[in-house]
Structure 1
């Protein structure tokens, strides 16, 4: 439990992950029936980009700050601007307007921004200090329940939700050697308990072979409708650094694959990357052909 996301808040991996999360939340709100969201590795909810951790790494400058500058300069085409608007609207709403934002919403605050009357957000965080901070952020908010608990246990404890529709975000820190194994096992368990839910699983791309093995294991799992989206900014020659960010999406909303196929290359360009690619493919259950 040594990982602290405050050092990495707003970096390119966050931008990609949270832009997709905002799209999923928007699709959930398109139907009137209430929904529930479970975030298994919630963190602290909101991050200070002027704090020691964020300024020590400066990663937000290559991520959300750069994207806001591109958006404000009119550097996004109309379709990309529309796809990113739900995400950027939340980022701007909680901070100073323009590129010089001082705070960044983690996935709990981002998801909370989309909740309507009757919707619910369940947050699990194992790190004791982070769990206390998270509880303070949402103190008095009756739509949000914060649990100091292991995220993998939360999949057993909180699924299926009473609302029968919603989203599970699984975003572990990947500081343990078996986190990829637990990701696959956790999805299998959750899907067995709630096969109709939407699942969004984030994973780091360092060693390309590890990502390929993850895709193969998911394909072999028999779970249908699995979409993989990746954004990379370094080549695959080194495995001692973060080369990109991936999202596994199970039961993605209709035509989300087409939206991501347009949005991610534009995001890659807006972030100023000269290496890497944006890639979307069906691992199981659908075909883009």
Structure 2
């Protein structure tokens, strides 16, 4: 099933969380001179037009990135810089997907693998990453592609796993893939993005990882409303295995402030948890 299109949701509150966490991890990985492997299992199109009919239909970015552009917070400097890089006129018209956030950080000694199966998004991802020579783009299953490159020659890796979860089986599939990846390369940093639609599926996925004995798992969530079976996605999260040092401390300070900015009716929240 390939009906999900991120262009309807680009720049929403879930993207804000995902990309702020991603930038924190990229900053950590590039602090050392030694190269690293970067893998994005579900790349999407890489860049989204916020003035398109798809983005305009839901205008989710208005309750996400648009609320942050006037905030002069040092903690958001890298995030705002990445967005400004694709909006040369200054107006917020385009929003970078995870591949563009990452590609800007890859150095000559680094390697990037990006996967996308959707027949429309794949050529767009290819075109958007063409200027970045260290990026390889594949029209293939990203979860299988991840396992194929582990362990990396550099012995350092940052992995982003963020499927659409259109199929309910994807929650278990993601957990199984992470367990297999961790078995092949236990010192890599792995980040799983997830939507909070049915909380029990998230709980199940997290319990699978903890029960398997994976250590140092941190979970970061940002939500606009409490869990509800009838409201669709009320929150989203990033589960990170082997997170950067001090990321928990930083997010405990930043995410509650973001929740207050994004809040519409007093129900927004942030959650930072050490899972194992």
When normalised by structure 2's length, the TM-score is: 0.95
Q: How does 1:104-253 map to 2 (within 5 A)?
A: 104-139=95-130, 141-253=132-244
- CA displacement 1:123-143 (0-9 Å, x = unmatched): 011112211111122225321
Cα distance in 1 for partners of 2:169, 2:200 equals 15
Cα distance in 2 for partners of 1:125, 1:161 equals 20
Cα distance in 2 for partners of 1:236, 1:178 equals 20
Q: Secondary structure at the match of 2:24?
A: helix
- CA displacement 1:193-247 (0-9 Å, x = unmatched): 1111100100001222322222222211211111111111112233441100111
Query: By how many angstroms is 1:271 displaced?
Result: 1.4
Aligned position for 1:77:
none
Aligned position for 2:61:
60
Q: Secondary structure at the match of 1:83?
A: helix
When normalised by structure 1's length, the TM-score is: 0.91
Report how many residues are paired. 274
Q: Secondary structure at the match of 1:145?
A: strand
How has the CA–CA distance of structure 1 residues 207 and 276 changed in structure 2, closer, same or farther, with 3 Å as cutoff? farther
Note the residue ranges of structure 2 that are not aligned, 5 or more in a row.
Answer: none
Cα distance in 1 for partners of 2:247, 2:155 equals 21
Q: 2:100 touches 2:129 (CA, 8 Å); kept in 1?
A: no
Cα distance in 2 for partners of 1:266, 1:154 equals 37
Note the residue ranges of structure 1 that are not aligned, 5 or more in a row.
Answer: 75-80, 285-289
Query: By how many angstroms is 1:282 displaced?
Result: 1.1
Query: By how many angstroms is 1:97 displaced?
Result: 5.9
- 1:4 aligns to 2:14 (yes or no): no
Please tell me the root mean square deviation across aligned C-alpha atoms, in Å. Answer: 1.4
Q: What stretches of structure 1 move > 6 A for 4+ residues in a row? A: none
Q: 2:40 touches 2:99 (CA, 8 Å); kept in 1?
A: yes
Aligned position for 1:287:
none
Q: 2:260 touches 2:268 (CA, 8 Å); kept in 1?
A: no
Query: By how many angstroms is 1:62 displaced?
Result: 0.6
Q: 2:41 touches 2:142 (CA, 8 Å); kept in 1?
A: yes
Query: By how many angstroms is 1:65 displaced?
Result: 0.5
Aligned position for 2:46:
45
